[in-house]
Structure 1
Amino acid sequence: MIKTDFRIALRNIKRNKSYALINVLGLALGIASALIIFAMVSYHLSFDNFHPQQDRIYRLVTEWHDDGVNRSAGVPRPLGKTYREDFNFSDYTARKVDYRRVMIAVPDAGDDKRFVEESGIAYTEPEFFKIFDFPLSRGDSSKVLRQPNEIILTERMAQKYFGESDPIGKTLRINNRTDYVVKGILQDFPVNTDVQQEFFVSYHELTLDGMDTNWLGVFSGSKCYTRLKDGVTAEQVTKALVGLSHRIYEGRDKDIWQFKLQPLSDVHFNPDFDGYVNKSYLWALLIIGLFLMVTAAINFTNLATAHAINRAKEIGVRKVLGSNRKQLFWQFMAETALITLISLVFAYGLALVILPGINGLLGTEVQLHLFSSWQLPVFLVSTAIFMVFLSGSYPGLVLADFRPVQALRNQVTQREIGGLSLRRVLVIGQFVISQVLIIGTLIIASQIRYTRETDLGFDKEAIVNLSIPDAGNAAKMKTLQHRLSAINGVKHVSLNFQPPASGSNNSTDIRYDNRPDTERWSINMKFADDRYLSTFNIPLVAGRNFFPSDTVKEFLVNETFVKNLHLASPEQVIGKRISVNGDENQGTIVGVVKDFHNYSLHSEKDAICIMPSTANYFNCSIKLQGQQLASSMAAFERLWKETYPDYVYSYGFLDESIAEFYELDNIMLNLIQGFALVAILIGCLGLYGLIAFMALHKTKEIGVRKVLGATVPQILWLFGREFAKLLVIAFVIAAPIAWLGMDRYLADFSYRITVGPGIFLSAIGLTLAIAALTVGYRSIRAAVVNPVDSLRHE
């Protein structure tokens, strides 16, 4: 019986090729999109879930509870050691401090074995590799990183630096300063881990820099991980950490500084602690994937019910010959299943073709190996069953209910197959989904355009940043600065820690005007020379710039600093003394600069303190003018290499680094644009099929109208008014849904666009234009047919 059903189904598909093709294309597009989304979401949900007892692994994080709550994934360096010594909650606790863009070299091997590693290195306590399952392929895991100047690295990096020779016992040099002996080789990390470093050096060196006792500064790269003992809860530890804060800090700081446990499963997703992707974005993608499959199913149902009249005589004959309602239903379900299976094969192939491009866009390594895990086969089977029953159930019931006498006489009416009312509802449903995606695309694109065009409070154009590898050598830095300033096309050159807006920010406490307590808010420290303001065109609003100096003597602060002190004017802070980062940096405020964004528009502007400190200049910023970029860049490289011949030259443009703040937003824009296009294509396939059906069944009506004097535009309006009305209704439903969703998206930005009526009018205008193009050709063909031929129809 099943074999017969599928044979008949195949025969029907061959007989109605255009109908089958439209359905296969629609279903394939919807399933391929859902398949890609499923693979992406599964990839992200799998991050770091391969570690044994991963539900007991946590990261310690910092919160400052004062005027609002500020958070950091970093913690004060002494926290890990104190927690380990004072409490007995954990099996293992380990500190890890990572630094990006580090030069690593094989001594005496020349330039061929000297590279700048973007992911950098991590100073790591050995317990880190007891908490996490990153096994060694060579070396003794019980001994590595326990002595000074030891390093372990991944197999991939061992191959890069040492080739086929045995790396154990050989030496790597970090930043041309310190040599480390290779003591172990790690197996290459899985792609689904947030640990990006591939070089781990013994933590011992950091115990000598004085920061290991500093409780007041938090560097974002300073992390602490712990694995709780069986039976210990996060609530118990959090309560104990409150007591630790009260013991370590004084005055108001006891309640301001709070340490919490962040589950490992939350690290990849929490934007408050630098998570890569917000989980709400993943759920939004899943909903989009479901919507696209529903859109494809609606398309199938719509066309199937419209096509049902053409099969009335077939159903009548089969009923007269003894087929019952159940047999007819399952016959149509078999046909639906065959179309779905064909679509599934096309969808899988399409997803395989598209996925490499998406991986390149996202910087991911999502894969679609059919039998690499149980999830993908289960998803494909579940999708096939879902689509078969969602698409085929209603049309199957409609066909099975035909009365044989009416069917054989061709007297089956629109009312008996669900009528236009059903198809109107289905078309509205399709275009609700399409318009929600179109509105979302327009709003995200507008916000990203706003981030590019808004005034950041400083000049970001034509500024080149060169790395300073030897910050301790002031003479070299200033010689390079002087020589760069003499190059034709160079306007200003500044030595600094980082540009005004940077992903690397140091926040610490501030004591104003010798007050007994620190302020209730933190300060963002920026080390820079006296040319910083002119290079980035940051205006002063009060006072003067600080005088050239190698150490901290004078400070510049911003307007937010003044506002946080609740002072009436910037002039009131001029001449006041402040202490930053405990009593480590003390001096006098000599000027107030206009506020500028020190991070992305997702964040509020911070209180900022700019101060000179030669020992902290790791960056050289060059402001260019004129059109001599190529010759200037060549000169920069030549002078830099003459100054630092033992290092690897690298540079970057400030506007490009700022654009990286919105990398995830651009990714979301590209994804939603692609899925909106898919939804529109599926909807257009459905519209084209329906307009062809309407044209066929209105042939005689069109002939009568033309005989009675109707013009071609009037005939076109006969088709157009139907779909225009449906699209307007879809827009009325879609607009509030899209507004609610996009309002949540924009809530992540402290500085955001105002969503006006223009975006919604553009969306409905674009949808109407696409629909007009879709139905126009087929409508015109129907409208220009000779009425004599139309009246002879049937």
Structure 2
Amino acid sequence: MIRNYFKIAFRNLVRNKTYASINVSGLALGMTCGILIFLLVNYHLHFDNFHPNSDRIYRFVTEQHRETTSYTYSVPNPFGKAFRNDYTFGEKVARVATADDVVLTIKKGREIRKFKEGETVAFAETDFFDIFNFPLLQGNLKTALSEPNTAILTQKMARKFFGDADPINQTFRLDNKIEFKVTGVLKDLPINTDRKTEVYLSYNTLKQYNEWMASDDSWGGIRSSMQCFVRLRPGISPAEVEQVLPAYVKKYRPTNKNVHHYKLQPLDDIHFNARYGGVITKTNLWVLGCIGLFLIFTACVNFINLATAQALKRSKEVGVRKVLGSFRGQLFWQFIAETGLITALAIVLACAVSGLLLPFLNDWFKVQIAINPIANWQLLLFLPLLALVVTFFAGSYPGLILAGFQPVTALKGKISQQNIGGFNTRRMLIVGQFAISQVLIIGMIVITDQMRYSTQSDLGFNKEAVVMLPVATESSVLTMKTLKDQFSQIPGVQTVSVCQAAPASNENVWNTSPKYDNRAEDEAFSVSVKAADDQYVPMFELKMVAGRNLFPADSAKEFLVNETFTKKLGLKSPGEVIGKILSLNDGNTKGAIVGVVGDFHDRSFHDDINAVCIASAPDLYGRYAVKINMATVKSTLAALERTWSAMHPNQVYDYQFLDEQIGNFYETEELMLKLIQSFAAIAIFIGCLGLYGLVSFMAAQKTKEIGIRKVLGSSIGAILWIFVKEFSRLILIAFIVAAPIAYYAMSSWLKNFTFRVDLGVGIFASAIVGTFLIAFITVGFKSIKAALMNPIKALRTE
């Protein structure tokens, strides 16, 4: 019997190739999205779940309470050692200090190879490998990092540095200053971990790299590069630990206005907590999951609409089957078999398309996902479950309609609109489809407008044609001055400034509490310090509001502040700060304020404009900012590289245009825009297939009506209005449903931006006009074909 069901189903699909192909493609498209979203959500939900006792592993984090509260996943450098010595809560405690943008040099005979590493190098205490499950393939974890100047590498990095040679006892240099010997090789990191370090250096060598970070007295500041992890003893709760942590604030920071609140962050929260640098929030995963379900739902709606429209053509077949003795249940399962066959074809096609699209997904999300049902039991379970749900959800309603035909009525061809469920169900489904599509369209328009606003608005400084080059770690004041002068001599170079970072930057950020005009206490707000030379202001075309620019200097003897700084002091005019003494870094840096610059965006549009201080401080310089003539960009960039490399032959050269760097502020939003564009296009396409099915149904139902109208003199336009009126009403209802949902969703999203666009009427008008145009194009052919039909042929139809 079952074999017979599928044999008949196959014959019906072959006979109705257009119907089958539309259904297969629609379902395949929806299920492709479902599979890809499932893979992505499943990937993110299994991060760092392979460590023993992971429920007892925590990271110490800091809430910094000033005028506002900020959050960082780091703690003061001595915190880990103090906690380990003072309390017995921790079974294991380990500090990890990352060394970003360093150069590792490997010398083999006369050959010298250089590698610039971003986030892959860190100084780690040995207990780190007792807390985390990163097994060692060569060497002894207990002793591999116990001695100074020792290192362990992952297999990947060992191959990268030393090829096929045995890495044990090989040496390399860090920033051409510190030599390390390889004492161990780690198994390559699994893809589902947030720990990205692949070169671990002995923590007791940190002092040679950065004396301040290694100091047991440096409680005065926090660097994002310092993290501290703990595995609590069994039975110890996080609340017990957090109760004693305020003692460190009272002991080491009693007078500082920047009040620290140290907390414990569970390991399973690290990947999802945006406050502390989480990769993706669980809310976003829920949103992605819902979008996947909606797209599968819209694909099923198409199937239902097309199947019910097709029911008219199969009414006589059903009548014959019933006369010959078929039961209603048999006819129902016959249609379910047809649906199952379509679904099976669709899911095979969906898997193939998912495989083709997966590299783009991996590139967009910077993940490493593969379609491998054998290795991924969740996917192996998901695929048949998806097929089963789609088969019964999409096939049950049309199956019940077909199986319910009265044989006499069916054989006479008298099946009416009421016999196949009327329009109301199909109308409701179409409204649901287009409501989803319009929510996505409105979201796409809002995100596009916000991205355009963020990248094209006046930032308060000029970011065009500026190239950012690195200051080599071995640079001295004389080296920087010499290289700056050499850059200035290159044809095409207009201005050169050496600085800590660009006016708007997330790198090398230093926030500290200022003390103004020799007041007894620090101010309640923090100031963002930007180290720069005297060319910084003219280079970026910062506006001087009061006072003058910095004089050339080799130390922080004078300061520039921005207007926000003066506003937070409560002053009536910016000029009141000129000549006042400013003290930073717990009084270690003092100077007079000589000028006030106009406000500029020092971070992304997510954040408010901070109080900013600009001062000369060569020991903090990390970038050369070079303004170039874009007419000769190729030759100028080549000359800059030659000049830089000649000065620093042992370093690795790189560069980035400032506008690209600022664009990186909005990587998440760019990704979201790509996704919502893709999902909106898919939802619209699937919705249009459903609309096509509805118009097909209407055309079949109204064949005689159209013939009569034409005989009585109706124009083609009047006939078309029958169809246009129907889908226009549905789209308008869908818009009424979608508009408040989209408004709420996008209002919530825009709250992430301090500087944002308004949700105006134009956005919603654009969405509905665009939807109408797409719908007109979709139904136009079928409607015109019905309107041009020969009325005599229509009236003869029985």
Whether these two folds match at TM > 0.5 is yes
Q: 1:201 to 1:158 in 2, by over 3 A?
A: same
Q: 2:771 maps to which residue?
A: 767
1:584 positional shift:
2.2
Amino acid at match of 1:550: D
Amino acid at match of 2:296: M
1:143 positional shift:
0.5
Q: 2:473 maps to which residue?
A: 470
The CA distance in 2 between the partners of 1:535 and 1:445, in whole Å, is 30
Question: What pairs up with 1:397-408 in 2 under 5 angstroms?
Answer: 397-408=400-411
**1:264 equivalenced with 2:267 (yes/no):** yes
Query: Does structure 2 retain, via aligned residues, the 8 Å contact 1:424–1:726?
Result: yes
Q: 1:49 maps to which residue?
A: 49
1:519 positional shift:
1.9
**1:624 equivalenced with 2:624 (yes/no):** no
Q: 1:308 to 1:789 in 2, by over 3 A?
A: closer
Please identify, of 64-73 and 154-163, the stretch whose mean Cα deviation from structure 2 is larger: 64-73
Q: 1:337 maps to which residue?
A: 340
Q: 1:14 maps to which residue?
A: 14
Question: What pairs up with 1:53-64 in 2 under 5 angstroms?
Answer: 53-64=53-64
Q: 2:204 maps to which residue?
A: 204
Query: Does structure 2 retain, via aligned residues, the 8 Å contact 1:217–1:506?
Result: no
1:5 positional shift:
2.0
Query: Does structure 2 retain, via aligned residues, the 8 Å contact 1:471–1:617?
Result: no
**1:247 equivalenced with 2:276 (yes/no):** no
Query: Does structure 2 retain, via aligned residues, the 8 Å contact 1:218–1:508?
Result: no
Query: Does structure 2 retain, via aligned residues, the 8 Å contact 1:541–1:593?
Result: yes
Q: 2:330 maps to which residue?
A: 327
**1:277 equivalenced with 2:242 (yes/no):** no
Amino acid at match of 1:130: D
**1:32 equivalenced with 2:32 (yes/no):** yes
**1:784 equivalenced with 2:788 (yes/no):** yes
Unaligned runs of 5+ in 1: none
Q: 1:471 to 1:533 in 2, by over 3 A?
A: farther
TM-score relative to the length of structure 1: 0.97
The CA distance in 1 between the partners of 2:419 and 2:700, in whole Å, is 18
Unaligned runs of 5+ in 2: none
Amino acid at match of 1:30: G
Amino acid at match of 2:478: A
Question: What pairs up with 1:210-609 in 2 under 5 angstroms?
Answer: 210-211=212-213, 212=215, 213-251=217-255, 253=257, 256-470=259-473, 472-504=475-507, 505-609=509-613
What secondary structure, in the 3-state scheme, does the structure 2 residue paired with 1:169 have?
coil
The CA distance in 2 between the partners of 1:667 and 1:766, in whole Å, is 23
The CA distance in 2 between the partners of 1:527 and 1:245, in whole Å, is 29
Amino acid at match of 2:432: G
1:697 positional shift:
3.0
Q: 2:714 aligns with which of 692, 707, 710?
A: 710
**1:97 equivalenced with 2:75 (yes/no):** no
The CA distance in 2 between the partners of 1:790 and 1:399, in whole Å, is 24
Query: Does structure 2 retain, via aligned residues, the 8 Å contact 1:703–1:786?
Result: yes
Write out per-residue CA displacement over residues 172-210 of structure 1, whole angstroms, 9 at most, x where no aligned residue.
111111111111111111122222232111122334613
1:321 positional shift:
2.8
What secondary structure, in the 3-state scheme, does the structure 2 residue paired with 1:210 have?
helix
What secondary structure, in the 3-state scheme, does the structure 1 residue paired with 2:58 have?
strand
The CA distance in 2 between the partners of 1:402 and 1:763, in whole Å, is 41
What secondary structure, in the 3-state scheme, does the structure 2 residue paired with 1:370 have?
coil
Q: 2:123 maps to which residue?
A: 123
Percent identical: 47
Amino acid at match of 2:646: E
The CA distance in 1 between the partners of 2:795 and 2:747, in whole Å, is 55
The CA distance in 2 between the partners of 1:600 and 1:471, in whole Å, is 31
Q: 2:656 maps to which residue?
A: 652
What secondary structure, in the 3-state scheme, does the structure 2 residue paired with 1:641 have?
helix
The CA distance in 1 between the partners of 2:112 and 2:294, in whole Å, is 52
Query: Does structure 2 retain, via aligned residues, the 8 Å contact 1:218–1:506?
Result: no
1:28 positional shift:
0.6
Query: Does structure 2 retain, via aligned residues, the 8 Å contact 1:303–1:690?
Result: yes
Please identify, of 101-110 and 579-588, the stretch whose mean Cα deviation from structure 2 is larger: 101-110
Query: Does structure 1 retain, via aligned residues, the 8 Å contact 2:61–2:73?
Result: yes
1:120 positional shift:
4.5
Query: Does structure 2 retain, via aligned residues, the 8 Å contact 1:462–1:653?
Result: yes
**1:666 equivalenced with 2:666 (yes/no):** no
The CA distance in 2 between the partners of 1:767 and 1:621, in whole Å, is 47
TM-score relative to the length of structure 2: 0.97
Amino acid at match of 1:427: I
What secondary structure, in the 3-state scheme, does the structure 2 residue paired with 1:137 have?
strand
Q: 1:156 maps to which residue?
A: 156
What secondary structure, in the 3-state scheme, does the structure 2 residue paired with 1:411 have?
coil
Query: Does structure 1 retain, via aligned residues, the 8 Å contact 2:114–2:650?
Result: no
Query: Does structure 1 retain, via aligned residues, the 8 Å contact 2:465–2:630?
Result: no
Question: What pairs up with 1:67-78 in 2 under 5 angstroms?
Answer: 67-78=67-78
Q: 1:534 to 1:429 in 2, by over 3 A?
A: same
Number of paired residues? 793
Amino acid at match of 2:274: P
The CA distance in 1 between the partners of 2:563 and 2:168, in whole Å, is 55
The CA distance in 2 between the partners of 1:772 and 1:111, in whole Å, is 68
Query: Does structure 2 retain, via aligned residues, the 8 Å contact 1:19–1:689?
Result: no
Query: Does structure 2 retain, via aligned residues, the 8 Å contact 1:319–1:404?
Result: yes
1:436 positional shift:
0.9
The CA distance in 2 between the partners of 1:655 and 1:197, in whole Å, is 29
What secondary structure, in the 3-state scheme, does the structure 2 residue paired with 1:529 have?
coil
The CA distance in 1 between the partners of 2:260 and 2:617, in whole Å, is 27
Q: 1:285 to 1:596 in 2, by over 3 A?
A: same
Q: 1:559 to 1:109 in 2, by over 3 A?
A: farther
Query: Does structure 2 retain, via aligned residues, the 8 Å contact 1:216–1:508?
Result: no
Write out per-residue CA displacement over residues 250-297 of structure 1, whole angstroms, 9 at most, x where no aligned residue.
1364x8211111112222222211222232222111110000011111
Please identify, of 306-315 and 761-770, the stretch whose mean Cα deviation from structure 2 is larger: 306-315
1:65 positional shift:
2.0
1:380 positional shift:
0.9
1:694 positional shift:
2.3
Q: 1:161 to 1:672 in 2, by over 3 A?
A: same
1:111 positional shift:
6.6
Q: 1:342 to 1:112 in 2, by over 3 A?
A: farther
Amino acid at match of 2:236: V
Please identify, of 329-338 and 286-295, the stretch whose mean Cα deviation from structure 2 is larger: 329-338
The CA distance in 1 between the partners of 2:560 and 2:384, in whole Å, is 64
The CA distance in 2 between the partners of 1:595 and 1:109, in whole Å, is 54
Q: 1:634 maps to which residue?
A: 638
Query: Does structure 1 retain, via aligned residues, the 8 Å contact 2:688–2:775?
Result: yes
What secondary structure, in the 3-state scheme, does the structure 2 residue paired with 1:583 have?
coil
Q: 2:696 aligns with which of 692, 715, 722?
A: 692
Please identify, of 732-741 and 107-116, the stretch whose mean Cα deviation from structure 2 is larger: 107-116
Amino acid at match of 2:543: P
Q: 1:83 maps to which residue?
A: 83
1:351 positional shift:
0.6
Write out per-residue CA displacement over residues 413-466 of structure 1, whole angstroms, 9 at most, x where no aligned residue.
111211012211111111111111111111111111111111122111111111
What secondary structure, in the 3-state scheme, does the structure 2 residue paired with 1:371 have?
coil
CA RMSD of superposed structures (Å): 1.7
1:108 positional shift:
5.4
Q: 1:750 aligns with which of 754, 767, 780?
A: 754
What secondary structure, in the 3-state scheme, does the structure 2 residue paired with 1:52 have?
coil
The CA distance in 2 between the partners of 1:210 and 1:27, in whole Å, is 60
Amino acid at match of 1:269: F
1:510 positional shift:
1.9
1:696 positional shift:
2.9
